[in-house]
């Protein structure tokens, strides 16, 4: 099992934000993390990455407990892909991706030919090798996100932790990102991805972790744990889970907020028409 989390607790000086999370994910799986703003998703990721100390519980990356793991070793096991990334300098795409090799450098080391080759391969794997010499700040939001994924791949970690990667993307780029995530899972990566869309686990997820107020609300296969009842418990609004077929006959599952008939007046009746 590539990622194992057992009764994990931790947070900031004021107390635990993550309160007893247990879940697992393996190679070739996408674990989607769902929950409202402030439920502890980002704090959970910081605990997994060693950015925050756990007050209790355990995280194991590829079988290794992370408690006493040095940062370089941890970085070789798990890579972080943020929502967005601003650079002070106008690095080229290739230069930024090569930075993913930093955990493999010695104290006074510098990137070599092999590091550059791995960076080029990571760009090719995502179909963006043509951007190699472009300034990173000049890219679109979708292109930047793909570059950050390439940097994580170049890091040679098998666990990719993605904090709301689609948050600032338009609809087409969100779909592209989900396709890329699914392809990475097929290639054997373990992805942990927070998302505000409860539909995503049905299209790309193998497992889903639902959080509420820092606690585990549900964990398991999307079909088993994402229901109208669990969605209402987590998000606080009535929701339905519906299935339909698209134009190609492929089954799709959607999560929709619902209102009872007559629960609100027509806007024209209220004088807003």
Specify whether the CB–CB gap between 23 and 8 falls below 8 A: no
How far apart are alpha carbons 223 and 110 in whole angstroms?
Answer: 47
Tallying the residues shown for the chain, one arrives at 273
CATH class of the domain whose range is 3-227: alpha beta
pLDDT, tens digit (0-9, with 9 covering 90-100), for 167-203: 888 999 999 999 999 999 999 999 999 999 999 999 9
- Judge whether residue 270 has pLDDT over 90: no
Two structure tokens written together for 33 = 């993390």
Tell me the pLDDT band of 267, cut-offs 50, 70 and 90: very low
Two structure tokens written together for 17 = 């934000």
What is the chain's Cα-based Rg? Answer: 20
Two structure tokens written together for 214 = 């820092």
Residues 6 or more apart whose Cβ sits within 8 Å of residue 99: 91, 151
How far apart are alpha carbons 129 and 122 in whole angstroms?
Answer: 8
pLDDT of res. 264: 58
Residues 6 or more apart whose Cβ sits within 8 Å of residue 78: 3, 48, 49, 61, 157, 159, 160, 161
Tell me the pLDDT band of 153, cut-offs 50, 70 and 90: very high
pLDDT of res. 209: 99
pLDDT, tens digit (0-9, with 9 covering 90-100), for 114-144: 999 999 999 999 999 999 999 999 999 899 9
Strand, coil or helix: 50: coil
Strand, coil or helix: 24: strand
Phi-psi region of 188 (alpha: psi -120 to 50; beta: other; left: phi over 0): left
The dihedral over CA atoms of 162, 167, 171, 173, expressed in degrees to the nearest 10, equals -40
């Amino acid at each position: 099992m590539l990622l194992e989390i057992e009764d994990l607790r931790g947070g900031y000086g004021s107390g635990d934000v993550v309160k007893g999370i247990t879940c697992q994910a393996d190679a070739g799986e996408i674990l989607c993390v769902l929950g409202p703003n402030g439920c502890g998703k980002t704090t959970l990721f910081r605990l997994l990455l060693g950015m925050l100390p756990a007050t209790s519980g355990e995280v194991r990356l590829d079988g290794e407990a992370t408690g006493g793991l040095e940062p370089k070793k941890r970085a070789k096991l798990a890579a972080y892909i943020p929502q967005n990334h601003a650079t002070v300098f106008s690095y080229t795409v290739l230069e930024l991706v090569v930075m993913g090799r930093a955990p493999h450098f010695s104290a006074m080391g510098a990137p070599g030919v092999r590091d550059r080759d791995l960076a080029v391969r990571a760009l090719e794997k995502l179909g963006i090798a043509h951007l190699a010499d472009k300034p990173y700040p000049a890219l679109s939001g979708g292109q930047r996100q793909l570059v950050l994924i390439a940097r994580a791949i170049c890091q040679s970690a098998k666990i990719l932790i993605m904090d709301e990667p689609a948050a600032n993307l338009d609809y087409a780029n969100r779909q592209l990102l989900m396709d890329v995530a699914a392809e990475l899972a097929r290639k054997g990566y373990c992805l942990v991805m927070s998302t505000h869309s409860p539909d995503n686990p049905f299209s790309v997820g193998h497992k889903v972790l639902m959080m509420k107020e820092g606690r585990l609300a549900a964990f398991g296969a999307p079909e088993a744990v994402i229901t109208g009842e669990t969605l209402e418990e987590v998000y606080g609004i009535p929701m339905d889970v519906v299935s339909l077929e698209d134009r190609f006959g492929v089954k799709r599952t959607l999560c929709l907020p619902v209102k009872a008939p007559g629960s609100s007046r027509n806007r024209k009746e209220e004088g807003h028409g």
